[in-house]
Amino acid sequence: MTTVTLPTVPSPPQSRDGAGRRLPLPGRYTVAPGRSLTELTAWYGPLPVLRRRVTLGEASLTVPEDAERPSLRYEFDDRRFSAVLTSEQVDEVHGGRLQLTGDLDLNGLAFPVLLRLRVVERADDRLLVVGHARLPYRLLRRATGFRLPWRRPATRLRLLVAAEFA
């Protein structure tokens, strides 16, 4: 079994009045069809060797009343790439960014992922984010059995997501 350690950045202290919050008001938000972009890119050293758009089946953001443990869930539903990304922890880090620590479920096996999101626009009832996760291909292949075509060598993968939660 392979162990992957992800870096974490402690979140700054929150103010009592909610100023500077990067999340919308408490509730459950989803992504409307056509309001998202997901892309998977395979890299071999400095060169991209494969770039593919991935269909986002469903995405949801749940912000509880206490705003202590918000959760994100992305379901990728493509004929070549079917996976579920669920968050264990969502932190607000300096610079107006969100950091999602969670699991990418491929073939029924979970792989740890660190997804860094930039909040592009925030309102009380919606959130527009853009972010990416870098995945080491060799560890991902060993842990989950995910494989690229044999003619596409790769050292790492980049998962790019952009979504508008409303």
Q: Report yes or no on 81 lying in a domain.
A: yes
pTM, 2 dp: 0.80
Q: Report yes or no on 9 lying in a domain.
A: no
Please name which of 127, 146, 105, 116 lies closest in space to residue 61, comparing C-alpha atoms: 127
Is the sign of the CA dihedral 26, 131, 128, 33 positive or negative?
A: negative
Can you list the residues of the chain whose pLDDT is less than 50? 12-19
Q: Report yes or no on 6 lying in a domain.
A: no
Q: Report yes or no on 138 lying in a domain.
A: yes
pLDDT of residue 81: 77
pLDDT of residue 79: 78
**How many domains does the chain divide into?**
1
Q: Report yes or no on 62 lying in a domain.
A: yes
* Residue 111 structural domain: 27-165
Q: Which helix (DSSP H) or strand (DSSP E) does residue 28 occupy?
A: strand 27-44
Q: Report yes or no on 15 lying in a domain.
A: no
pLDDT of residue 7: 64
CATH number (domain holding residue 36): 2.40.128.110
